[in-house]
Amino acid sequence: MKKERLFYLDFIRAIAVVAILLTHFNAVYLISYPPEAWDKIVVTYKVCNLYIGDFGVALFFIVSGAALMHVYDEKLELKTFYKKRFLAIYPMFWLAYFVGFIYLFYVNKGFDTTIPKRNIIYTIIGFDGYLTGIVPNFYILGEWFLGCIVLIYLVFPLLRWGVKKHPIGCAIIAFLLYIWSVWIYNGTLNRVELITTRLPEILFGMYFVKYIKKINIPVLLASVCVLVLNTIFAPSWLASFQTTYVGIASFCVLVFISRYLDFRAVRKSCACISKYSYAIFLVHHVIIDRMTATFDLATLTRTGSYILFITCCVVIALFAKILYVANDRCMLWFQKVKNEA
């Protein structure tokens, strides 16, 4: 039986999508231009002393944990779960990658021939972005987030068992793993990409749906205090640590706010963005890179920067829709062929 959609999850996911779009648009200024040009940044590049990209990703992980727990709280059949997750991720990713590769091959008049062709396996399994700083591969879209989401899906049944059967023990183990990954780990992979670093966010979403469900006034005030104090004092300690508590506090505040924004128009808008969020995630980076590259951002006005961002969003929405529909039609075609075989 299909579960009822939770508006606050769609609402927060929509905010996370906008945060990620802002991240990669503004990154063009942050990476390629001196601070004097940063007045052209759209809206902001920081939220409560946290880089907006970290903010958006933290919300995504919390929402992912909450959404999975909402759907699979009562029943989880492993074969069905992994099949659905596989179909939700890989076909659309492969389709987007194929089109993106052909386009960039034409634009760049070739591809990097120094990369061992066998490393295409990292792309096939969706880990090229996750491993791009470790092994040479053919990464062009999807980023590290995709690989981490795949890992989350792989361990979700175990996390679900822990949350339902041993909630305290599960939280303690996750906390110890988090301490190790944030303060002790010194490996090649960036600590923000470790699934153990993201466990508090994923599990908080799961615990929230299973046990908490609503945000009361004391929790709201505590969360607001965390965000305000982190903004005012701007601590310099590890960004990974700040990401965790700012992300969780922001989630709590947004859940509370969502109850006052639950109107038909807002609900439909957030549901639409949520529906296409994965497609947006797959296409946005390439589109932003290609569109901003055609402008001289050094001479672009602040107003022009905002217009360019909106234009990028329109194009991203168009291609996300095309990708989503194309993926649906491909899946229907494969199902038809399978049924006729």
pLDDT (tens digit, 9 = 90+) per residue, 263-288? 999 999 999 999 999 999 999 999 99
Give the position of tokens 């300690």: 237
Continuous segment of H or E residues that includes residue 330: helix 302-340
User: Which residues have CB under 8 Å from 233's CB, separation 6+?
Assistant: 49
Tokens of 172: 């303690």
The pLDDT confidence band at residue 133, using thresholds 50, 70 and 90, is confident
Q: If you average pLDDT over residues 197-202, what whole number do you get?
A: 97
Q: Does the pLDDT of residue 1 top 70, yes or no?
A: no
Give the list of residues 6+ apart from residue 283 with CB closer than 8 angstroms, or none: 96, 100, 141, 316, 319, 320, 323
pLDDT band at 319 (very low <50, low <70, confident <90, very high): very high
Q: 2 pLDDT band (50/70/90 cuts)?
A: low
Backbone φ, ψ for residue 184 (5° rounding): -115, -40
Residue 340: is its pLDDT beyond 90?
no
pTM of the model as a whole: 0.95
Q: In whole numbers, what is the pLDDT of the chain averaged over residues? A: 94
pLDDT band at 45; cut points 50, 70, 90: very high
Taking alpha carbons only, the member of 254, 137, 248, 142 closest to residue 193 is 142
For residue 4, pLDDT over 90 is answered with no
Rg (CA), the chain: 21
d(CA 13, CA 19): 10
What is the CA angle 6-8-10, rounded to 5? Answer: 75
Q: State the amino acid at position 68 in one-letter form.
A: L
